[in-house]
Amino acid sequence: MKKRDKHALFVFGIFAIVTVVVMIFLNNNRDVQPDNSLPYLDSNSELKFLLEGESTQMKGMKVSIGRQEDPVNYVSIPNHSEELYRETINLPTEQVHLIKFKHGGPAANPSPDSIMYWIYAQRVNKEVPKKTNTYYIEATVSIDNEMIKKELLKIAESWKLPK
């Protein structure tokens, strides 16, 4: 075997070992839930985590999670929205708030009102003392009924928020 062939075989071997180690690491950390994530089962019943900026369809609602900065003791829902009600909810891990509102879409492209829910919790913004980080689960529902609200609250029980 030529020296060049031995070198190529060595490089390939190192690449294969690194690939196997990375795969093992990723599989071992698959069940670790990242902060501000929401676990859910996809259509193949595989556990996945919904991360900020992503959305998924679940039982009659489009669900996403997000974060925004708000003034202390205030939460800003989307523009062109009419708040229908607000309540405090006790989840197993902490107290959160639920807002139900009608949302008409942006002014430049108005659309028929949709019903939306936000479940949110707030944390002190350590970098900007006069601001609060608002973490929310947003659900746009296709059929509005009490079962949707119960399902959303059930989903929220597994939400992992930053401390």
Residues 6 or more apart whose CB falls under 8 angstroms from that of 71 comprise 130, 131, 132
Q: Taking the mean position of all CA atoms in its chain, how far away is CA 146?
A: 22
Q: Contact 86/99 with Cβ under 8 angstroms?
A: yes
Q: pLDDT band at 97, cuts 50/70/90?
A: very high
Q: For the chain, how far is it from start to end, CA to CA, in angstroms?
A: 58
Task: Name residue 49's beta-bridge partners.
Answer: 39
Nearest to 64 by CA among 127, 116, 1, 137: 137
- Predicted confidence (pLDDT) per residue in 35-57, tens digit: 666 766 555 555 677 778 788 88
Nearest to 123 by CA among 139, 107, 134: 134
